[in-house]
Amino acid sequence: MKKPVLLIIISVFITAFCFGTDPAVGFWLSLDEKTGQPTGGWEIYIVDGKLFGRVLSLAGEPQDKIASRCRESYRNFPVPGKVNEMRVVGTPWLFNLSMDSPGVWRGGNILDAGTGHMYRCKVTFRPADGKKFLDDTLEMRGEIGLGIGRSIYWQKSTREEASSLR
């Protein structure tokens, strides 16, 4: 009698672990550091165990804007073709991050489509704590090397909010 119950409990935990969603996955708004206003809506998702993020909408920009300030190609960019001819909306500018622990991803890159600069990237989910983080937040840390970089913070959103910026 005890063995079947134990097997069921173990199965539930394995299923939850395998199919549970990482807290970084979902919809987010990138925010202007000075005004706190949204600049872009993002979808963060996992493919083959790697974390990616694509822009769903841009605030104050044409939705068909081309990443013309980018170079033609970047090492390990996840989409074939000329990057400087790709639309900002719909392209995965955050790519190939590996999980460190639930909610913490590193080892990939983020490409700033507005400047063409690519950075090593670490993503850390920060749950709302009522103090420093009033809402669920993603800390996006871009680095140029030797730990030199900066963090920006994204706000948890819905699909509708992330898709409707204009």
What's residue 145's pLDDT? 85
Q: In which residue ranges of the chain is pLDDT below 50?
A: 4-19
What's residue 3's pLDDT? 55
What's residue 94's pLDDT? 98
**Host H or E run for residue 45:** strand 38-47
Q: Is 10 exposed, middle or buried (0-12, 13-18, 19+ CB in 10 A)?
A: exposed
Query: Under a CB-based contact definition with an 8 Å cutoff, are residues 111 and 77 in contact?
Result: yes
Domain boundaries 22-163, CATH class: mainly beta
Global confidence as pTM: 0.87
Angle at 163 between CA 158 and CA 140, to 5 degrees: 70
CA dist 107 and 7 (Å) reads: 36
What's residue 49's pLDDT? 98
